[in-house]
Amino acid sequence: MKCYLQREPLEVEEFVASAWAGSRQLRNHFELICIRTGSGAYIINGQRLGYRAGSVFLLGPADCYSFVINETTDFGLVKFTEAYLTELTATGIHTSAWHLLRDYTLHASLGSMGSIELGTNEQRQFEALLELLFSEYSNRGQPFNNTLAESLMGAMLSFIGRQLTGRSVGERVTSSYAASFVQRLLAYIRRHISQPDRLRVERLAAEFAYSPKHLSALFKQETGESLRQYILRYKLKLVETRLQLSTLTVSQIADELAFTDVCHLNKLFKKHYDTTPTDYRRHLQAMSSASV
């Protein structure tokens, strides 16, 4: 499994493939994967979904994905960091579209929401914008025009935003301010995930100038789960990633992510994954050996 750490705020990539080489693990960025032609299966965090020409997928940090290609596929990838997303939101350019995307990533970053399907006319316009973005990005003879890229991406996301408003997550959006606030709160949680004292609701409330009750209610309203549930789910996702990609012992992982002790981590992991961390890693190793 390849682990991808992105250093540039925005990167785009286009390629044609008849086979997919292993899984990709995202670490610090989002990806829009656009299927231009072809068909097959898309595997995201262990869930298998079909794809076809016109499918668009959104992934976030900690997501792991791969493709099973049945028909040679033309891929278009737009990769951007959370800092890039935050900066674009702050500029006021296509603000409503970006807020929809930011709210969507509350859920997309920890599990697939499936393909974002565009209508025929929207798909044609979306592909035209995508082609312009690729053309601008690949023009290495001149400096990359960030303003043009922001405008193109904003327009692309406005098409996607129309589809997101029809999903259950869109129905929970009560205001762009609430979505923006929760995104800032999530960024804070991710930065301090190994510091449990900084993630107590009283500390979070003081940090963001809210009452604990109001902060908890707003988070639940926007994400559909409690702060405690989200923090635990995110920590366990990080445990899973380390079991997959690192040689750290379970004890070292427990220390790094500030679990009370190994027994505490084992208990929580088994409750959510129906297996212990050690057995989970052994299963991954056996699967890897069998595929060689």
User: Model confidence over 73-95: pLDDT tens digits?
Assistant: 999 999 887 777 767 666 555 55
Structure tokens given for 228 = 């405690």
Residue 142 token pair: 């001149």
User: Quick one: pLDDT at residue 135?
Assistant: 84
- Long-range (24+ apart) CB contacts under 8 A made by 254-260 are 256/194, 257/193, 257/194, 258/194, 258/195, 258/196, 259/235
- pLDDT at position 109 is 46
Model pLDDT for residues 139-173, shown as the tens digit of each residue: 655 555 677 877 887 777 777 766 665 544 434 43
Which residues contact residue 143 at a Cβ distance below 8 angstroms, ignoring those fewer than 6 apart? none
Over residues 193-218, the mean pLDDT reads 92
Q: Which amino acid, 140?
A: R
Element (DSSP H or E) covering residue 85: helix 82-91
> What's the pLDDT at 162?
65
**Range name among 49-63, 228-242, 271-285 with the lowest pLDDT average:** 49-63
Over residues 97-138, the pLDDT tens digits come to: 555 555 555 444 444 456 776 777 777 888 888 888 888 777
Q: Which CATH architecture has domain 176-291?
A: Orthogonal Bundle (1.10)
Residue 174 reports pLDDT greater than 80: no
Tens digits of per-residue pLDDT, 7-61? 688 888 889 999 998 888 776 678 889 998 999 998 876 677 788 888 888 887 6
* CATH architecture, domain defined by 2-171: Sandwich (2.60)
Query: Which residue in 142, 150, 143, 234 sits closest to 188, CA to CA?
Result: 234
pLDDT of residue 106: 46
Q: Does residue 70 surpass a pLDDT of 80?
A: yes
Tell which residue, 32, 35, 30, 31, has the closest CA to residue 50. 35
pLDDT of residue 171: 40
Q: Map tokens 């997959």 to a residue.
A: 244
The pTM score is: 0.56
pLDDT, residue 176, reads 52
Q: For position 98, what pLDDT does the model report?
A: 54
Mean pLDDT on 195-210: 93
Domain boundaries, the chain: 2-171, 176-291
